[in-house]
């Protein structure tokens, strides 16, 4: 072990040097001005502080940077970093104090002013002072109208308060100023916001406006499944059952892995249209296209059971159980069906055998962005406010189990 120590130390020094060099260069590019570099080099505190920052030791970084700031009290960025460190440590009051202090300085350049305000806005946001955070980010935009970081924070604050129209307008601005090539991502967000605006119109019983919003959402991003679901609901409400069926079928085609969200609606509307056989047809089509689709099997089994075809239904449920052993709904459906088949001992044995091999997972939906977990599929993460970021965590859960 001892022989590795010098090598390791050398590597760490190299890494730290690279990181510091990068930060140094970036600052130079951002503003074209640096405080007296000779002065900074005379004190080790600044470098030490950055070193501790890089190695993720915030207390020591604060200590060294505080010393560096007393040597060179003009160095704006040291106080910016210090304030941010306080915020990250949860000392929001101190962070606000430091950043407000920066704003009192005379002869601040426009960009310096904007950057200090941005940090202050982040302090307010993390302290839960929503109104003041909104005010600070808007102030940043008055100084620097294309500040993407301020725009994104402002958008999330509006979303937190369900101010969908305001969030929508800001996302449009982000799309204008943001890096090229992100258009699909912007459209996805805009489509989900349109869908929320449509739901708002529904609450006000304005079917026409709601339908226009849902249609617009689909035009922005054809994969926005909730917009299809809600548009179909409006069409049913307007007495247009055939249109609703077509809308939901379209939604199922663009998002087959989430088709189950439309099952109940489709089954009901097919019955209403006098063509109930279309439902099992759709289920079989989905199962053929995605062999691990357990929800399609459960839906088809339920449909068959209600028509007296219990044996066929049970086979489907057993297949579903293999793909999703923790699905309580599957176990319940199996027991109901077994009961209808007079608890045939051979079938009960087969069930016990299948369930015995099951691996159980909890909270199967996970946000890809922040790892927030949920028992159901959510379109908008309540934790990080990303749109459409949830996936079923079956693969990830299996991986975690391997790692242990
Ligand atoms: Zn999240």
Choosing from 221, 248, 274, the residue where a domain stops is 274
Give the residue carrying structure tokens 């088809």.
300
How far away, in angstroms, is 386 Cα from ligand 1 center? Answer: 6
Are both 265 and 284 inside the same structural domain?
no
DSSP 106-166: TT--HHHHHHHHHHHHHHHHHHT-HHHHHHHHHHHHHH-TT-HHHHHHHHHHHHHTT-HHH
Are both 214 and 256 inside the same structural domain?
yes
pLDDT at 100: 96
Instruction: Please indicate, yes or no, if residue 371 is contained in any of the structural domains.
Output: yes
Contact 215, 198 (CB under 8 A): no
Are both 263 and 317 inside the same structural domain?
no
Which CATH number belongs to the domain containing residue 228 in this structure? 1.25.40.10
**In the predicted structure, residue 56 carries a pLDDT above the cut 90:** no
How far away, in angstroms, is 67 Cα from ligand 1 center? Answer: 38
Q: Which residues pair with 387 in a beta bridge?
A: 380
Instruction: Please indicate, yes or no, if residue 32 is contained in any of the structural domains.
Output: no
How far away, in angstroms, is 392 Cα from ligand 1 center? Answer: 13
Q: What is the CA radius of gyration of the chain?
A: 29
Contact 318, 341 (CB under 8 A): no
Are both 246 and 326 inside the same structural domain?
no
How far away, in angstroms, is 223 Cα from ligand 1 center? Answer: 20
How far away, in angstroms, is 92 Cα from ligand 1 center? Answer: 23
d(CA 292, CA 295): 9
Average pLDDT over residues 259-277: 96
- For the chain, give the mean pLDDT: 87
pLDDT at 5: 54
How far away, in angstroms, is 159 Cα from ligand 1 center? Answer: 13
**In the predicted structure, residue 272 carries a pLDDT above the cut 60:** yes
d(CA 336, CA 328): 12
**In the predicted structure, residue 254 carries a pLDDT above the cut 60:** yes
pLDDT at 181: 81
d(CA 112, CA 78): 12
Are both 269 and 190 inside the same structural domain?
yes
The count of C-alpha atoms lying within 13 angstroms of the C-alpha of 159, restricted to the half-sphere facing its C-beta, is 25
Average pLDDT over residues 54-75: 85
DSSP 240-294: -HHHHHHHHHHHHHH-GGGGGGGHHHHHHHHHHTT-TTHHHHHHHHHHHH-TT-H
How far away, in angstroms, is 376 Cα from ligand 1 center? Answer: 14
Q: Which residues make Cβ contacts (< 8 Å) with residue 233, sequence separation at least 6? A: 244, 265
Are both 294 and 348 inside the same structural domain?
yes
Instruction: Please indicate, yes or no, if residue 117 is contained in any of the structural domains.
Output: no
pLDDT at 194: 98
Contact 285, 252 (CB under 8 A): no
What 3-state class would DSSP assign to 375?
Answer: coil
pLDDT at 335: 94
What is the number of other CB atoms lying within 10 angstroms of the CB of residue 295?
Answer: 23
Are both 372 and 337 inside the same structural domain?
no
What pLDDT digit, counting tens, does each position of 330-346 carry? 999 999 999 999 999 99
Are both 287 and 367 inside the same structural domain?
no
pLDDT at 360: 55
**Mean pLDDT lowest for which of 126-140, 160-174, 200-214, 320-334?**
320-334
**Buried/exposed 38-55: b ≥16 CB within 10 Å, e otherwise:** eebeebebbbbbbbbbbe
Q: Give the pair of three-digit tokens for residue 277.
A: 């056989």
How many folded domains does the chain comprise? 3
Closest to 360 in 3D by CA, of 319, 299, 329, 401: 401
Domain housing 207: 184-274
Are both 316 and 371 inside the same structural domain?
no
d(CA 237, CA 27): 58
Phi, psi (deg, nearest 5) at residue 199: -65, -35
pLDDT at 143: 95
pLDDT at 402: 40
How far away, in angstroms, is 380 Cα from ligand 1 center? Answer: 8
Are both 250 and 235 inside the same structural domain?
yes
Element (H, E) at 373: strand 373-374
What 3-state class would DSSP assign to 197?
Answer: helix
How far away, in angstroms, is 134 Cα from ligand 1 center? Answer: 21
How far away, in angstroms, is 366 Cα from ligand 1 center? Answer: 8
Are both 191 and 239 inside the same structural domain?
yes
- The DSSP 8-state label assigned to residue 388 in this structure reads S
How far away, in angstroms, is 175 Cα from ligand 1 center? Answer: 21
What is the number of other CB atoms lying within 10 angstroms of the CB of residue 365?
Answer: 15
Instruction: Please indicate, yes or no, if residue 390 is contained in any of the structural domains.
Output: yes
**In the predicted structure, residue 226 carries a pLDDT above the cut 80:** yes
Q: Which residues make Cβ contacts (< 8 Å) with residue 18, sequence separation at least 6? A: none
Are both 226 and 301 inside the same structural domain?
no
d(CA 357, CA 366): 24
Name residues with Cβ closer than 5 Å to ligand 1, which is an ion: 367, 369-370, 372, 381, 383-384
**In the predicted structure, residue 401 carries a pLDDT above the cut 50:** no
How far away, in angstroms, is 158 Cα from ligand 1 center? Answer: 16
Residue 398 pLDDT level (bands cut at 50, 70, 90): very low
Instruction: Please indicate, yes or no, if residue 160 is contained in any of the structural domains.
Output: no
Residue 397 pLDDT level (bands cut at 50, 70, 90): very low
How far away, in angstroms, is 373 Cα from ligand 1 center? Answer: 8
pLDDT at 355: 83
How far away, in angstroms, is 188 Cα from ligand 1 center? Answer: 16
pLDDT at 404: 36
d(CA 231, CA 165): 19
**Mean pLDDT lowest for which of 41-50, 147-156, 161-170, 278-287?**
41-50
Instruction: Please indicate, yes or no, if residue 266 is contained in any of the structural domains.
Output: yes
Q: Which residues make Cβ contacts (< 8 Å) with residue 312, sequence separation at least 6? A: 304
What pLDDT digit, counting tens, does each position of 90-124 carry? 999 999 999 999 999 988 999 999 999 999 999 99
pTM listed for this prediction: 0.74
**Mean pLDDT lowest for which of 12-16, 172-176, 208-212, 250-254?**
12-16
**In the predicted structure, residue 28 carries a pLDDT above the cut 80:** no
How far away, in angstroms, is 139 Cα from ligand 1 center? Answer: 28
Contact 224, 195 (CB under 8 A): yes
Instruction: Please indicate, yes or no, if residue 400 is contained in any of the structural domains.
Output: yes
């Amino acid at each position: 072990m001892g022989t590795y120590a010098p090598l390791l130390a050398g590597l760490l020094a190299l890494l730290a040097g690279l990181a510091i060099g990068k930060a140094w260069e970036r600052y130079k590019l951002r503003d074209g001005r640096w405080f007296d570099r000779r002065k900074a080099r005379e004190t080790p505190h600044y470098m030490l502080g950055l070193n501790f920052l890089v190695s993720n030791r915030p207390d020591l970084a604060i200590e060294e940077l505080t010393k560096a700031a007393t040597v060179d009290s003009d160095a704006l960025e040291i106080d910016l970093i210090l304030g941010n460190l306080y915020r990250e440590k949860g000392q929001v009051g101190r962070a606000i104090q430091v950043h407000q202090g920066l704003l009192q300085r005379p002869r601040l350049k426009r960009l310096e002013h904007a950057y200090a305000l941005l940090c202050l806005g982040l302090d307010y946001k993390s302290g839960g002072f929503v109104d003041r955070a909104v005010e600070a980010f808007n102030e940043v935009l008055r100084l620097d109208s294309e500040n993407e970081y301020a725009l994104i924070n402002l958008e999330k604050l509006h979303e937190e308060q369900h101010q969908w129209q305001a969030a929508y307008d800001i996302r449009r601005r982000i799309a204008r100023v943001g890096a090229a090539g992100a258009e699909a991502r912007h459209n996805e967000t805009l489509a989900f916001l349109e869908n929320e605006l449509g739901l708002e119109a529904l609450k006000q019983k304005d079917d026409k406006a709601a339908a226009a919003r849902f249609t617009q959402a689909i035009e922005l991003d054809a994969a926005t499944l909730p917009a299809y679901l809600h548009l179909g609901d409006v069409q049913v409400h307007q007495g247009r059952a055939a249109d609703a069926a077509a809308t939901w079928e379209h939604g199922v085609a663009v998002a087959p892995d989430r088709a189950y969200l439309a099952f109940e609606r489709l089954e009901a509307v097919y019955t209403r249209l006098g063509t109930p056989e279309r439902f099992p047809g759709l289920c079989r089509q989905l199962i053929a296209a995605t062999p691990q689709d357990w929800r399609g099997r459960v839906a088809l089994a339920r449909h068959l059971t209600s028509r007296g075809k219990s044996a066929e239904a049970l086979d489907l449920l057993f297949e579903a159980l293999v793909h999703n052993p923790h699905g309580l709904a599957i176990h319940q459906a199996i027991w109901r069906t077994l009961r209808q088949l007079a608890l045939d001992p051979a079938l009960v044995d087969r069930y016990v055998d299948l369930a015995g091999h099951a691996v159980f997972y909890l909270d199967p939906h996970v946000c890809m962005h922040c790892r927030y977990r949920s028992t159901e599929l959510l379109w908008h993460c309540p934790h990080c406010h990303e749109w459409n970021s949830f996936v079923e965590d079956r693969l990830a859960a299996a991986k975690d189990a391997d790692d242990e």
